Amino acid sequence: MSANTPRQRPGAWEEAAAQLLSRTARDLPTGRHEYHKELLMAGIEQAQRTQQIPPSTAKTRGPRLLRPAIALPALAAAVAAAVIGGTALTGGNGDGPARLATGPALTTQIGAASPDGVSRLLDQVTLVAAQEEHPTLKAGQYVYIESKTADTFVKTVDDKSSLASHALHKRQVWYSPDGTKGWLIDPAVNDSPEGETLSLPDEQGNTPVAGLNHPSYDYLASLPTDPDALLAKIYKETKGHGNSPAQEAFATIGDLLGESYPPPALTKALFKAAAKIPGVVTVNDAVDAVGRHGVAVARLDEKSGAREEWIFDKNTHVFLGERTVQVSKAGGPEELIKPGTVLFTSAVTQRAIVDGIKQVPAQGS
């Protein structure tokens, strides 16, 4: 954006919208990301036709995410209002999300990567996953996932850029089998400590159909469990997205394995499908958000220089969490992000089925 022109270029508006959407993409409720993206872009186009908008004086650039997945209603609406109104989200005032966006850049030692041992590690992970207790999610119940997360991003205020981070914090999410009901508590995106609803339908009264970008438990149960067929479906439905077909497929599988509850047969197929993606490697040492060391299955996005890592315990091969690490110099507006910067990190601390929304396992019957 130019601070010297009274009206922003259309391309700059769209770039600002994309940057703001990337900030919130991980925290949007199932099925609402595309709705709010369309709403935001429509609002921008309308504003371009009818308004003279003053330039933004500040903006916050969120972590580079590999695939936008889901979006929080109030936050997405705030993003739309911020861009259309010519203002921007910053690390400013208040006790909510802004309070967390004050930390320094997160850094780590970059683990050595090897193309050897990928299939062997994923086979071991699959065997462990198959032995885990996995109750069937029933109507009226909710998947509960608790994790610790943090991230690093470029923040620009008055044309001065620096790296900042959201401090490590607890994140809790609940969602129903069909994905139409849910709740999120995450101080990085919720102003209220009580959290915010993820329930559908959307603001237009529509209930989006679940898919790879917004999977529900019921949707996951419908996916093919043959690894080749599953991978073919992922390639087909993500065509044209991401920096490369292989990277987008890897990121998609990572999302389906992360904050979700795939059936055991699908989990096995996802791991076997990942082993077939070109460029997948093992990393000898990776650390999750709470400091647990493990071995990772990973892939480098050659365009961005960031490596997505799925971290498993070295001995038990239980899934610990995931992170995205900058392993080569970033270019353009993100040149401040040096190798060793942790763009996103997460550690899953609990995953269970509960009988009510906002109920935690300790409160269950």
| CB within 8 Å of 360: residues ≥ 6 apart | 144, 146, 172, 350, 354
How many separate domains does the chain show?
Answer: 1
In a domain, 165, yes or no: yes
In a domain, 249, yes or no: yes
In a domain, 308, yes or no: yes
Torsion of CA 256, 257, 260, 263, to 10 degrees: 100
**CA gap 349, 354 in Å, rounded:** 15
Strand runs labelled E in the chain: 58-60, 113-114, 142-157, 160-175, 182-185, 196-197, 281-287, 293-301, 306-312, 319-326, 342-354
Tens of pLDDT along the chain (365 residues) come to: 323 323 333 333 344 444 444 444 434 433 334 434 433 443 333 333 333 333 333 333 333 232 223 333 333 333 333 333 333 333 333 455 666 777 789 999 999 999 999 999 999 999 998 888 889 999 999 999 999 999 999 888 888 888 999 999 999 999 999 999 999 999 988 888 999 999 988 778 888 788 898 899 999 999 999 999 999 999 999 999 999 999 999 999 999 888 889 999 999 999 999 999 999 999 999 999 999 999 999 999 999 999 999 999 999 999 999 999 999 988 877 889 999 999 999 999 999 999 999 999 975 44
In a domain, 95, yes or no: no
In a domain, 177, yes or no: yes
Domain that holds residue 130: 103-363
In a domain, 18, yes or no: no
Q: Taking a C-beta distance cutoff of 8 angstroms, is the pair 216, 30 a contact?
A: yes
In a domain, 238, yes or no: yes
Burial label for 248, CB within 10 Å (0-12, 13-18, 19+), is: buried
In a domain, 13, yes or no: no
Q: What are phi and psi of 178, to 5 degrees?
A: -90, 0
> Minimal CA–CA distance to 175: which of 140, 150, 147, 202?
140
